[in-house]
């Protein structure tokens, strides 16, 4: 979007336009927001929703304003397709990401539209996907702090647009009721519809850029093609609602038995 100075002082009309554009386009980009500091980024995020605390991996929060540092010098690269934190039952509905340090070349991010991907499925695959449930987890042995397992629908209904969106990504572990190998075949098949170039947009970052995305209807991939050059981003996640499948059945926590996201809805 052009000609907008982000921060605390957005008008009601501007806030409404940004929210409407976000739901429609799934990801928005704002150039030259050099005036933003952490406080102004946080103030802008409040126009879009309530900030989210990740209960499993909160050791890299900069302060009580819930800003998370994404720092390549600490091994935080991304470099895989995912929607953020889907191992949680009520995972974030979106995120606000600001570029502070960008390598001279490389370091772009790609977003893919999971609602369009569902629409592109053949009818038989849509019918199958509508019935499936999957386990998502952060338990990858080397990275899990508090292992969490959640059952989500493979197709979630977007609470604002009613679009059907594929829900897979790197945190998906298995398809309920299927042997692991068979489930992986299906996951890979659905991924083929999410991630082709014609269903994605690639953003080449500049310092001062800010991106906002709908985490319920996208996957993204931060490309690690810049070696050991520094790349520093500040992110604020936004509280999300409990996903529901095509039949209305909500996601549910498997482990721990109580939802670790205290303010889930």
Give the closest residue to 99 by CA, choosing from 237, 226, 210.
210
Q: 4-18, 133-147, 232-246: which has the minimum mean pLDDT?
A: 133-147
| Stretch among 46-60, 110-124, 198-212 having the lowest mean pLDDT | 46-60
Find all residues with CB under 8 Å of 110, minimum gap 6, and list them.
200, 201, 202, 203, 220, 221, 223
CATH topology (fold) of 12-255: Double-stranded beta-helix (3.60.130)
Position 61 pLDDT exceeds 90: no
Distance between CA atoms of 65 and 63, rounded to whole angstroms?
A: 5
The residue-averaged pLDDT of 153-165 equals 98
Once rounded to an integer, what is the mean pLDDT over residues 20-46? 96
Summarize pLDDT for 92-148 with one digit per residue, the tens: 999 999 999 999 999 999 999 999 999 999 999 999 999 999 999 987 654 546 689
Dihedral sign (CA 172, 177, 179, 182): negative
DSSP conformation letters of 66-104: -PEEEEGGGT----S-B-TTTTSTT--SEEEEEEEE--S
Closest CA to 235 of 92, 139, 108: 92
Q: Is the model's pTM score more than 0.85?
A: yes
End-to-end Cα spacing for the chain:
30
Instruction: Record the tokens describing residue 169, joined without a space.
Output: 């990504």
- How much is the pLDDT for 77? 75
Q: Which two tokens stand for residue 59?
A: 């050791």
- For residue 99, which of 109, 110, 91, 84 has the smallest C-alpha distance? 109
């Amino acid at each position: 979007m052009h000609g907008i100075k982000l921060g605390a002082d957005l008008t009601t009309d501007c806030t409404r336009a940004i929210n409407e554009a976000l739901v429609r386009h799934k990801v928005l980009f704002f150039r030259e927001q050099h005036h933003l500091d952490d406080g102004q980024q946080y103030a802008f995020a409040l126009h879009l929703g309530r900030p989210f605390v990740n209960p499993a991996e909160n050791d890299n929060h900069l302060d009580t304003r819930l800003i998370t540092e994404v720092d390549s010098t600490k091994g935080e690269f991304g470099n895989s397709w995912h929607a953020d934190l889907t191992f949680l039952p009520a995972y974030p509905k979106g995120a606000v990401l600001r570029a502070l340090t960008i390598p001279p070349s490389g370091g772009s991010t790609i977003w893919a539209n999971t609602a369009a991907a569902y629409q592109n499925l053949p009818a038989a695959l849509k019918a199958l996907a509508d019935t499936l449930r999957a386990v998502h987890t952060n338990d990858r042995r080397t990275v899990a702090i508090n292992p969490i397992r959640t059952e989500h629908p493979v197709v979630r209904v977007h609470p604002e647009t009613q679009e059907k969106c594929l829900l897979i990504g790197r945190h998906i572990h298995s398809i309920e009721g299927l042997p692991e190998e068979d489930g992986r075949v299906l996951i890979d098949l659905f991924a083929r519809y999410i991630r082709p170039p014609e269903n994605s947009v690639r953003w080449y970052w500049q310092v001062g850029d800010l991106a906002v995305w709908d985490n319920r209807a996208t996957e993204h991939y931060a490309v690690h093609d810049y070696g050991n050059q520094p790349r520093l981003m500040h992110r604020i996640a936004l509280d999300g609602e409990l996903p529901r499948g095509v039949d209305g059945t909500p996601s549910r926590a498997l482990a721990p038995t109580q939802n670790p996201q205290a303010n889930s809805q």
